[in-house]
Structure 1
Amino acid sequence: MTTTTTKLWTKDFILFTISNTFLFSGFHIFLPTLPIYVLNQGGTSTDIGLLSATFVFFAILIRLFTDYGIKKWGKKYYLYIGCILCFVAAISYILATTVPRLLSLRVVHGLGFGIATTLYAAIVSDLIPKSRRGEGIGYFGLGTTLAMAIAPGLGVWIVDNFSFNSLFMVATISQILALSFLSLCSIPDDRSVHTEKQEKSSLIDKLLERRLLFQAFLALLFGVCIGGVLNFIALLTKEAHIANAGAFFLMCTLCIFLSRVVTGRIFDRKGPAWVILPGTIFFLLGFVVLAQSKSMTSFLAASALYGFGYGTIFPALQTWMFNLVPPAKRSTASASFYNMIDIGNGVGSIALGMLAGKLGYASIYWCSASIMGIFLFSYTWFVIQEKYASEHNLDDIEANG
């Protein structure tokens, strides 16, 4: 499936973006509420960690079979399978009154989410004209940002004012809406494109696209730093005696939204370096300020820097990876991107949590700043080497011309 015009805001792109927003809403609504539900069912903090790890593990595991799923069902129907699994998990949480049942549903939800996130990103890259891919991916991601901003707070409000069964029904409705809007999209059945015999691939090949090793390394570093904020920011505010951790996410979401609107066009016109380098500097500075925050003012400043950095790096890195592979490999590129983000997030949560236990929560963000320093150095060196190689090739062409 390829695009032949430069029009971005097509009916399919709009419907697809809305569908993705509802899918992520049904995911984010559980982030602050499921741990409470686990404790109410007699679970422990260990059980909460196990549920999270189970979800991530099976999301990564199913992405190893992305090529097989697409070859058998095509992108369109494989995406439907992922969304249906998310729906089945959401509606079944009502029956999950024990931790073992919750674990089994986190397996189903992780499998569905792993398929859906990979295919949404891969298909939308087909829907967007190449000349506007950076801009389009940025706008597409605004739906995810909106879900991240609204769904967690909505979930807590529902639990506080109604019940967990009401929460599960709202999450189920969100997944139904995702499927409904998806069904309105005109996505061709591309199973015939993938019927040719493919070479056998190793586990590493299934985990990530070999042509994207450097980009995957950057995504891994980025994922480690994301894990530090998502899992420990509330604990840092308590350690630093800052009143409202929720203000961090509100400011962060606003800045992510603003950055995605602007930086996508810069990516398309200037290239990835013009976006990734300043985004990395913002992200790094956000961690430095966050590690030293003792007041709401510095806390919000750190949140703004983090938001601008996150909102810039995430879509730029994803789009860059899509642009480096042929259309048939975009789903593999998508799986590689999300796998590295998830692995980094999981490893970062464990390693940074151990660090915090010894040195305090501020140490997490000093460490994250150092990791982004490695990211910045590595990418800068890559850009310099690429420019040097390009100039050398040009000189050779002129000399032989």
Structure 2
Amino acid sequence: MTTSTASLWTKNFILFTISNTFLFSGFHIFLPTLPVYVLHQGGTSTDVGLLSAIFVFCAILVRFFTNNGIKKWGKKYYLYIGCILCFVAAISYILATTVPRLLSLRVVHGLGFGIATTLYAAIVIDLIPKSRRGEGIGYFGLGTTLAMAIAPGLGVWIVDNFSFTSLFIVATLSQILALLCLSLCSIPDDRSIQAETQEKISLIDKLVEKELLFQAYLALLFGICIGGVLNFIALLAQEAHIANAGAFFLMCTVCIFLSRLITGRIFDKKGPAWVLFPGTILFLLGFVVLAQSKSMTSFLIASSLYGLGYGTIFPAVQAWMFNLVSPAKRSAASATFYNMIDIGNGVGSIVLGILAGKLGYASIYWCSAIIMGIFFLSYTWFVIQQKCAAANNLDDIEAKG
């Protein structure tokens, strides 16, 4: 089968992408609303911080046991477990009338989300033709982008016009639809195969697949920079006296969508360097412009650059990691990718937050630009090393010939 005729838009791929979109919608709808709910229930700003920290910690923790879960249940049924945990958390928020109950449910939600995100990414690779992997990952990620664009605003609208109970009902329906679409997919039961291929893995290897150390390092740097935008962009807008910070995310989402329509095909035809180099430059420039933004115009230009860079780098690094491992290690590769993104996000939120307290919020984005500069230089060094190694191998072959 040729690259041009390899079938990407199968029933399974479409349903699986829709299912992932609904799962992420049930996550993003809570990002701007649960902190408000915590305060509404008598919580403090510290409790709001714990809300995010507990969720991220549990998502990372459960990925240490990804191989154990797959070995016991297989990818298909382990994914069901993750989605069911997300459903249980969403519907149980209705009963979380105290902060301790809410925080305990974030444990359940974090565990379910950690399992589900890892397995969605690992399974969808099996549904995408190898010749169209970059393109397929890009399209698959559009569902997440759509959820990120619509769900937070929808959540705020529901709370403002109805109630928190209505919010939890909508989030629960989103998880039900994710499960329904998943149940309609024809995913083989691979428990027997996984049981034969699984090996004993060290604690470090559960955090980072050893074949992907450099790619994990790049994902960590990328995650740190993401944390700075997600957590502090509204505060930067206030500091710079820019109204309507939400416009940043709207423009950003449009640009992420556009970039993913194009860069996946380039990745498949040319390789990761052809998208990572321009993507990194755009991402870096986005932070430079953002750090100097004093008007809505510059704010939106920064958003466009950030969105184009984000939409290029995220799926490219993810697809690159999947291409470097055997099918048996795709779940480990997926766990590595999301672990590094989440750890970077968490570390970035803390370190950059401290920096902002001392130097102002613009300093966060100057620091992020420097980090992406390190990303660019590191990847440049990697590509040069790869080319030198390939040239040496060619010389050895010619010498022997």
Aligned-residue offset at 1:6: 1.7
Aligned-residue offset at 1:198: 4.2
Q: 3-state SS of the aligned residue for 1:32?
A: coil
Aligned-residue offset at 1:280: 0.3
Alignment check: 8 A CA contact 2:285 2:305 kept? yes
- The residue aligned with 1:14 is 14
Residue deviations 1:50-102, cap 9 Å, x none?
A: 01000000000000000000000000000000000000000000000111001
- The residue aligned with 1:385 is 385
- The residue aligned with 1:293 is 293
Does 1:62 pair with 2:80? no
- The residue aligned with 1:46 is 46
Does 1:311 pair with 2:311? yes
Matched AA of 1:232: F
- The residue aligned with 1:263 is 263
Does 1:240 pair with 2:240? yes
Q: Which runs of 5+ in 1 are unaligned?
A: none
- The residue aligned with 1:278 is 278
- The residue aligned with 1:82 is 82
TM-score normalised according to structure 2 size: 0.98
Does 1:147 pair with 2:147? yes
Q: Aligned pair in 2 of structure 1 residues 395, 279: CA closer, same or farther (>3 Å)? A: same
- The residue aligned with 1:324 is 324
- The residue aligned with 1:156 is 156
- The residue aligned with 1:35 is 35
Q: How many residues align?
A: 398
Matched AA of 2:7: K
| Residues in 2 aligned to 1:200 and 1:325: alpha-carbon distance in whole angstroms | 17
Pairing of 1:74-223 with structure 2 (within 5 A)? 74-196=74-196, 198-223=198-223
| Residues in 2 aligned to 1:222 and 1:230: alpha-carbon distance in whole angstroms | 13
Matched AA of 2:99: V
- The residue aligned with 1:343 is 343
Matched AA of 2:171: A
Residue deviations 1:308-357, cap 9 Å, x none?
A: 00000000000000000000100000000000000000000000000000
Q: Aligned pair in 2 of structure 1 residues 197, 183: CA closer, same or farther (>3 Å)? A: closer
Matched AA of 2:180: S
| Residues in 1 aligned to 2:51 and 2:137: alpha-carbon distance in whole angstroms | 30
Residue deviations 1:169-211, cap 9 Å, x none?
A: 0000000000000000000000011122744322111101000
Q: 3-state SS of the aligned residue for 1:396?
A: helix
Stretch of structure 1 that moved more, 5-14 or 100-109: 5-14
| Residues in 2 aligned to 1:196 and 1:181: alpha-carbon distance in whole angstroms | 29
Residue deviations 1:193-238, cap 9 Å, x none?
A: 1122744322111101000000000000000000000000000000
Q: 3-state SS of the aligned residue for 1:195?
A: helix
Matched AA of 1:204: I
Matched AA of 1:77: Y
Alignment check: 8 A CA contact 2:64 2:203 kept? yes
Residue deviations 1:250-291, cap 9 Å, x none?
A: 000000000000000000000000001100000000000000
Q: 3-state SS of the aligned residue for 1:196?
A: helix
| Residues in 2 aligned to 1:262 and 1:394: alpha-carbon distance in whole angstroms | 33
| Residues in 2 aligned to 1:139 and 1:195: alpha-carbon distance in whole angstroms | 31
Alignment check: 8 A CA contact 2:71 2:198 kept? no
Matched AA of 1:302: A
Alignment check: 8 A CA contact 2:80 2:179 kept? yes
| Residues in 2 aligned to 1:298 and 1:351: alpha-carbon distance in whole angstroms | 26
Matched AA of 2:152: P
Q: Aligned pair in 2 of structure 1 residues 130, 21: CA closer, same or farther (>3 Å)? A: same
Question: What is the aligned-residue identity percentage?
Answer: 86
- The residue aligned with 1:355 is 355
Q: 3-state SS of the aligned residue for 1:154?
A: helix
Alignment check: 8 A CA contact 2:67 2:198 kept? no
- The residue aligned with 1:396 is 396
Q: 3-state SS of the aligned residue for 2:196?
A: coil
| Residues in 2 aligned to 1:344 and 1:311: alpha-carbon distance in whole angstroms | 18
Matched AA of 1:396: D
| Residues in 1 aligned to 2:150 and 2:200: alpha-carbon distance in whole angstroms | 43
Supply the RMSD in Å over aligned alpha carbons. Answer: 1.0
| Residues in 2 aligned to 1:129 and 1:400: alpha-carbon distance in whole angstroms | 37
| Residues in 1 aligned to 2:254 and 2:197: alpha-carbon distance in whole angstroms | 47
Q: Which runs of 5+ in 2 are unaligned?
A: none
Q: 3-state SS of the aligned residue for 2:189?
A: coil
| Residues in 2 aligned to 1:103 and 1:325: alpha-carbon distance in whole angstroms | 37
Matched AA of 1:393: N
TM-score normalised according to structure 1 size: 0.98
| Residues in 2 aligned to 1:261 and 1:398: alpha-carbon distance in whole angstroms | 41
